[in-house]
Amino acid sequence: MDPAAADAFSEALMDAGAQSVSLETAGERMRLEALAPAQADGDALVREAAHALGLAAPIFRTGRVEDEDWVRRSQSQFGPIRVSDALWIVPSWHEPPAQAATVVRLDPGLAFGTGSHVSTRLILQRLEPLLRGGAAQPRVLDYGCGSGILAIVAARLGAGEIAAVDIDPQALEATSANAAANGVQLAVCAPESLPEEGYDVVLANILAGPLIALEPLLAARTRPGGRILLSGILETQAAAVVQAYSADFVVSVTATDEGWALVEGRRR
Residue type, 113: G
* Residue 75 pLDDT > 90: no
pLDDT value at residue 224: 97
Q: Residues 194-242: pLDDT tens digits?
A: 998 999 999 999 989 999 999 999 999 999 999 999 999 989 999 999 9
| Contact assessment for residue 90 and residue 80, using Cβ atoms and an 8 Å cutoff | yes
For domain 112-267, which architecture applies?
A: 3-Layer(aba) Sandwich (3.40)
- How much is the pTM? 0.74
> Which pLDDT band holds residue 22 (cuts at 50, 70, 90)?
confident
pLDDT value at residue 73: 54
Query: What value does the mean pLDDT take over residues 85-112?
Result: 73
Spans of all domains in the chain: 3-69, 112-267
The better pLDDT of the pair 81, 166 is held by 166
Query: What value does the mean pLDDT take over residues 11-32?
Result: 77
* Residue 97 pLDDT > 80: no
H or E segment to which residue 67 belongs: helix 67-76
* Residue 134 pLDDT > 70: no
Give the range among 36-40, 93-97, 122-126 with minimum mean pLDDT: 93-97
In this structure, what DSSP letter does residue 143 have? Answer: E
pLDDT value at residue 147: 87
Strand partners, 31: 24
CA 40 to CA 64: how far, in whole Å? 11
The better pLDDT of the pair 266, 100 is held by 266
* Residue 112 pLDDT > 60: no
Q: ∠170-176-178 over CA atoms, to 5°?
A: 100
> Which pLDDT band holds residue 110 (cuts at 50, 70, 90)?
very low
pLDDT value at residue 111: 44
Residue type, 182: N
| Contact assessment for residue 150 and residue 123, using Cβ atoms and an 8 Å cutoff | yes
Q: Residues 154-201: pLDDT tens digits?
A: 999 889 999 999 998 988 998 999 999 999 999 999 999 999 899 999
> Which pLDDT band holds residue 115 (cuts at 50, 70, 90)?
low
Rounded to the nearest integer, the mean pLDDT of the chain is 85
Q: Can you tell me whether residue 171 is helix, strand or coil?
A: helix
Distance of CA 13 to the CA centre of its chain: 13
Query: What value does the mean pLDDT take over residues 115-128?
Result: 86
The better pLDDT of the pair 224, 33 is held by 224
Among candidate residues 19, 17, 6, the one with its CA nearest the CA of residue 71: 19
Query: What value does the mean pLDDT take over residues 92-116?
Result: 69
Among candidate residues 62, 206, 54, 53, the one with its CA nearest the CA of residue 143: 206
CA 241 to CA 229: how far, in whole Å? 12
